[in-house]
Chain A
């Protein structure tokens, strides 16, 4: 089972994402933004960071990288794709997920341990969590405020596509406290907080993030 992690110019959390794949029992594969070949991976993580310096809009230029053309096509065929933070922004810019992410409403960078509720445990990336499982993982972002029009938000809620919601105080102004969403099929998930930083107690506040990576292992094996 191979999990590919894309490195864009300006990605920061690609090494941690590959490490999380290893801790979960998968073989991590480094993918390069300029290479359209996915090298036989069974799932893809778009990591956090500031690809292209967030120029134009966060994720807007990465979305047109050669590797994204293949990922967009394969995601449509069911390939599990997880976008974390900047990766979530890339997924929205790619129109694999609806809505967009804009600057935090308080204009400051956030770095904190963030409680969340996993509201959809039927996606390729969340099946190892219980329904309404409450977890705490790292949140660190600048453009983390999830926005979409009311009709889109109502549709996401109605179809159970809000994967994770912020608990306690809304940290960034995201509409309806949304921390993560999925596509209709449940194979593509975008998440603003960082599960890949929370797979070992030595370096993370919890190991609550590991479930995203163990979930996709099962999703791939059962498919």
Chain B
């Protein structure tokens, strides 16, 4: 069974209040030297069987319609290969 990973991030120009909150906590905990934190989402999608070109294209379509909102987010997609 192959696994497709989709990583979704807010576009750079969109403010990320959650990342800002995490960045604030870094400072309070004494983790210095951090310029910025951006928070994203990672989807691990396990397929029945192989990650054929068609199956990956289907997942790409799912990423375009559901997993990411192209108005505010970008995503990257990669196949992790056999998870067995």
Contacts and interface: CB of A to CB of B under 8 A. Distances in A.
A100 B71 contact: yes
Contact of B72 (A104, A105, A147): A147
A148 interface: yes
Interface magnitude class on chain B: 10 to 19
A147 B66 CA distance: 19
Contact of B15 (A60, A99, A100, A145): A145
Contacts, number: 37
Contact of B20 (A100, A102, A107, A147): A107
Contacts of B18: 103, 107
Contacts of A102: 10, 14-15, 17, 72
A148 B71 contact: yes
B20 to A, nearest CB: 7
Nearest to A104: B17
Contact of B69 (A60, A104, A105): A60
Given A102-B14, A102-B15, A173-B15, A93 B69 contact: yes
Q: Identify which of B15, B67, B69 gathers the most chain A CB atoms within 10 Å of its CB.
A: B69
Interface string A145-157: 1011100000000
B21 interface: yes
A81 interface: no
Contacts of A104: 17
Contacts of B14: 102, 147
Contacts of A57: 69
Interface string A97-111: 011101111110000
Interface of B: 10, 14-15, 17-18, 20-21, 41, 66-67, 69, 71-72
Interface of A: 56-57, 60, 64, 92-93, 98-100, 102-107, 145, 147-149, 173
**Which 3 A/B pairs are nearest by Cβ-Cβ distance?**
A103-B17, A100-B71, A107-B17
18 contacts: A56-B41, A56-B66, A57-B69, A64-B66, A98-B71, A99-B71, A100-B72, A102-B10, A102-B15, A102-B17, A102-B72, A103-B17, A105-B17, A107-B17, A107-B20, A107-B21, A147-B72, A148-B71
